[in-house]
Amino acid sequence: MPSLKFLRMWECEHNGTFHAQDFCELTNLQELDINSNNLKDKLPECFSNLTSLESLSLFFNQFSGNISALESLTSLENLDLSSNQFSGNISALKSLTSLKSLNISSNQFSGNISALKSLTSLQVLSLANNYIQIPSSLGPLFNLSKLKYIYADNNTIYAENEMHSSALTFQLNKISLSSCHGDVGSFPQFLYHQHDLVSVDLSNFYFKGEQFPIWLLENNTKLDTLILTNSSLSGSLQLPLASHLGLSDLDISNNFFNGSIPAEIGALLPSLGFLNM
């Protein structure tokens, strides 16, 4: 089937009758989706021949080893390697400059995110549940002007000198950095320059006694969900001066807030349907 362009095989009971290298002769493939097939071992080097691929999904298999075989697939726009056992650094991704959506979550990748700074078409980035080093400034991603969604929970985050806000080009809709290991000290400066946020999850952080970030509500009128569980926040619960009509879910439990719940919370947060303190 040398002329085949689209192939999807999900949850096949193959009993070992096919392997990943069996797809290497399909060099005209534009989409290959072999999710949930219990495929094992390393990604075959012959995958580098699939240079026509625009979408590759290997979700929920048992692939292991590095991903160097993918660095020649420069036409890729969507890449999903999540829920495998891939390891090593992510430098092979730097050549995939057409990527719009990248999901490498739930693997064993390590290294840092500087390899992603060349992915200027990227809109969705999922890195959760790895061993990747992420600077709290997100500085290496500042030039990704199309980036809208970042999911990077359960990695390692570290504080670094903040980059000047003038270098920041993205406006995020959603960001989730929950349960990242490390000490960032205070809220990352780039958050002060975001105005399109809809969902923010910074739970299980150590913010060294920072107060409730009222500026997140004031700067992001579309904010719907704010999760700051167990983030070492303190002081009183502050509310915006004007009503925030969007916020429906607020979780600030397991912090060190004091004082009483403001009597005007219902008037200033009229859409609030879930509150966990």
pLDDT tens, residue by residue, 31-87: 999 999 888 889 999 999 999 999 999 999 999 999 999 999 999 999 999 999 999
Please choose, from the candidates 87, 95, 31, 29, the residue with its C-alpha nearest in 3D space to the C-alpha of residue 57: 31
Which residues, listed in sequence order, are joined to residue 79 by a DSSP beta bridge?
56, 102
Interval 185-205 mean pLDDT? 94
Determine what percent of the chain is predicted with pLDDT higher than 90.
Answer: 81
pLDDT band at 182 (very low <50, low <70, confident <90, very high): confident
3-state secondary structure 72-121: CCCCCCEEECCCCEEEECCHHHHHCCCCCEEECCCCEECCEHHHHCCCCC
Residues 6+ apart with CB under 8 A from 228: 202, 203, 212, 213, 251, 252, 255
pLDDT, residue 160, reads 78
pLDDT at 15 over 60: no
**Mean pLDDT (whole number) for 257-267:** 92
pTM of the model: 0.94
Is 90 exceeded by the pLDDT of residue 4?
yes
Question: Given a cut of 70, is residue 14 above it in pLDDT?
Answer: no
Predicted pLDDT at 21: 83
Smallest CA-to-CA distance from 1 within 19, 38, 27 is with 27
**3 against 92, higher pLDDT:** 92
pLDDT per residue as tens digits for the range 92-146: 999 999 999 999 999 999 999 999 999 999 999 999 999 999 999 999 999 999 9
236 closest CA partner among 216, 268, 251, 258: 258
Give the pLDDT confidence score for residue 165 in this predicted structure: 66
**Confidence (pLDDT) at 162:** 62
Q: Is the pLDDT of residue 201 over 80?
A: yes
Q: What is the per-residue pLDDT across 17-37, written as a single tens digit (0 to 9) for each?
A: 467 888 899 999 999 999 998
- Are 64 and 43 contacting, i.e. CB atoms less than 8 angstroms apart? no
Going by pLDDT thresholds of 50, 70 and 90, the confidence category of residue 16 is low
pLDDT for position 167? 85
